Chain A
Amino acid sequence: KAGVTQTPRYLIKTRGQQVTLSCSPISGHRSVSWYQQTPGQGLQFLFEYFSETQRNKGNFPGRFSGRQFSNSRSEMNVSTLELGDSALYLCASSLAGVTDTQYFGPGTRLTVL
């Protein structure tokens, strides 16, 4: 079974631009979560989607948004990019339950100049 895929793998943007990241979960998984990883803040939970609905969210500004499609694929959008948004963005999928094991994709490394 194919794992979690994320596109693109690398991205360079400038301040003020917006970016959309994509995540395709493992087949059969209905939950997708997004995380931001930086050297200073570690791994921070952004939000989780289940059956096209946001089930939970972390403490990030409204510039960070996401959505999930009927096939469970998810996108994450960051508007008005700031230098501090430079990070590795990780997507994880799980079956459905809130304590189910999450399997991560390879991540998208975003650099904001």
Chain B
Amino acid sequence: AQKITQTQPGMFVQEKEAVTLDCTYDTSDPSYGLFWYKQPSSGEMIFLIYQGSYDQQNATEGRYSLNFQKARKSANLVISASQLGDSAMYFCAMREGGGNTNAGKSTFGDGTTLTVKP
């Protein structure tokens, strides 16, 4: 079963507006980390933001924030004040901890292509 689901293959946003990229995950492990990465057309994967499963507050990093709803198993990325340089593919990922056989494996979603319009 797919563990990370990104339901938006493509998104458009106007420059300077905010946009939310959706991510839902599935795990029975109480210990896990959730990540968002940005991949521009150059191919390099750029780390954006991290949320631990035991973190009480939503993570924020500059213009990026993670809307973590643990009960709903969702970890949406919010980008405020979009810039043209934000146009890229965005991936949601999870690393499971604990003692299970998946410990350390990263599972990635299929990604969302974000296009920022001037």
Which of B15-23, B40-48, B78-86 is the contact stretch?
Answer: B40-48
Q: Report which residue of A92, A103, A104 has the largest number of chain B beta carbons within 10 angstroms of its beta carbon.
A: A104
Q: Which size bracket describes the interface of B in this complex?
A: 20 to 34
Asked if A98 is at the interface of the complex by the 8 Å CB criterion, the answer is: yes
In the bound complex, CA of A55 to CA of B95 (Å) = 13
Q: B104 contacts A92, CB within 8 Å?
A: no
Size category of the binding interface on chain A: 20 to 34
Check A101 against B96 for contact (C-beta < 8 Å).
no
User: Which of A41-49, A63-71, A74-82 touches B?
Assistant: A41-49
Q: A58 with B105: in contact, given A98-B95, A98-B97, A100-B33 (CB under 8 Å)? A: yes
| Contacting residues, chain A, for B96 (C-beta < 8 A) | 98-99
The closest CB in chain B to the CB of A58 belongs to B105
B104 touches A43 (CB 8 A): no
Whether, in the assembled complex, A109 has its beta carbon less than 8 Å from a beta carbon of chain B, the answer is yes
Query: Residue of A at shortest CB range from B111?
Result: A42
Q: A75 CB to closest chain B CB, in angstroms?
A: 19
Interface string of A82-113 (1 = CB under 8 A from B): 00000010101000011111111111010000
